[in-house]
Amino acid sequence: MKSAEDMVALFRQQGLKITPQRRAIFETLAEGAVHPSAEEVYRRVQEGLPDISRMTVYNTLRELVALGELVEVEDVSSSAMRYDTETGNHHHLFCLGCHALVDVDQSFEALELPQAAAAGYRIVRHQVTFYGYCPTCQKSNPR
Amino acid sequence: MKSAEDMVALFRQQGLKITPQRRAIFETLAEGAVHPSAEEVYRRVQEGLPDISRMTVYNTLRELVALGELVEVEDVSSSAMRYDTETGNHHHLFCLGCHALVDVDQSFEALELPQAAAAGYRIVRHQVTFYGYCPTCQKSNPR
DNA sequence: TTCCTTGCAAACAGTTTGCAGTCAT
DNA sequence: ATGACTGCAAACTGTTTGCAAGGAA
């Protein structure tokens, strides 16, 4: 994630307006959790801006996704979308116990699908997700 | 996916009852699409059993997941869960254009996370998803 | 008979849409 | 001044829950 100021500049450059609400959302994203849900962003922004609407958060997140500054990530078994502030190519480590989602910077460049298996698809990217149990959940749920 | 008869046997063995609705769902899954959503299963079963309730489909799919005969898969950008009848280890090819989801039997055994990157997680499995455009969508959306 | 299953209706979560008033530029 | 933005309410989608009537064993 770029800094809040970068986001402000980007929005201006696109002819989009800078409101106190948007500024607060930028700041929350720049400082906050790595994979927040829309609801989490809303709650955090609300701490400093109690009257903000959930709507505005959704709108602004959507703009950021459209501008390529945020990437939507599926949250396995929770039905809520999460937003990834790291837009570069990276992978994920997901805890089956507590649903924590961690970035893995490792890049699996060598990972390629043989022509025969690609079924004529033009592949643009790939994403590896490792499923497991984080240290905390290993203790409370040993096996 | 095992055959419908196998599912019947498995349900009986678990003390679960075999109703016409459940039998129809088993048959639909055994013959049908590889990654249907609950709604798709519902619509297909409805063709032969017009009065079935969406509820019963959800219930039965949940039972099958609990018994390990079906695996839930996230549908990127659609918020609906899909059900994978192939429970073995395999990967996915997703079309960003039409949202088709195809199985890749290729196994990436060599794919391992270095100790240092695993952050203390105990990894139980990994899933690779390739994103791209299927042959049809390459034509209608060339780039 | 007994208990599980069905399916209706209602609740639910996350998200989107319509729109009047407000505000950044 | 003007057009974009905010935020309320309501709609919507996918799914779950409570419960009375029905059906498998």
CA closest to C1' of C24 belongs to A17
Q: Are A67 and A15 in a shared domain?
A: yes
Please tell me the predicted confidence (pLDDT) of residue B82: 92
Beta-carbon contacts of B29 under 8 Å, excluding residues fewer than 6 positions away, are B1, B4, B7, B36, B41, B64, B70, B83, B85
A52-90 residue pLDDT tens: 999 999 999 999 999 999 998 887 667 789 999 988 878
Q: Are A55 and A9 in a shared domain?
A: yes
Q: What integer is the mean pLDDT of A117-138? A: 87
> Are B37 and B83 in contact, with CB atoms under 8 Å apart?
yes
The CA R_g of chain A, rounded to the nearest whole Å, is 18
Q: Are A57 and A115 in a shared domain?
A: no
Q: Which residue from B88, B39, B19, B57 is spatially nearest to B11, judged by alpha carbons?
A: B19
End position of a domain, from candidates B75, B104, B121: B75
Q: What is the CATH number of the domain that holds B111?
A: 3.30.1490.190
Q: Confidence class of residue A143 from pLDDT cuts 50, 70 and 90?
A: low
> Are B29 and B70 in contact, with CB atoms under 8 Å apart?
yes
Q: What integer is the mean pLDDT of B69-83? A: 84
Range of lowest pLDDT (A138-142, B21-25, B51-55, B83-87): A138-142
Q: Are A70 and A108 in a shared domain?
A: no
B1-49 residue pLDDT tens: 789 999 999 999 999 999 999 999 999 999 988 899 999 999 999 999 9
End position of a domain, from candidates A75, A108, A123: A75
CA distance B69 to B80: 19
Token pair, residue B10, equals 């498995």
Residue B80 lies in a domain: no
CB proximity A73 to B under 8 Å = no
With CA of A58 and C1' of each nucleotide, the nearest comes out as: C15
Q: Are A63 and A97 in a shared domain?
A: no
Average pLDDT, chain B: 88
Q: What is the pTM of this model?
A: 0.83
Q: Are A100 and A64 in a shared domain?
A: no
Distance from CA of B48 to the nearest CA of A (A): 30
Q: Could you tell me the residue range of the domain that residue B99 belongs to?
A: 89-140
Residue B135 lies in a domain: yes
| Contacts A124 to B, Cβ<8 Å | 96, 131-133
Q: Provide the number of structural domains found in chain B.
A: 2
pLDDT at A107 over 70: yes
CB proximity A107 to B under 8 Å = no
Q: Are A8 and A71 in a shared domain?
A: yes
CA distance B86 to B2: 9
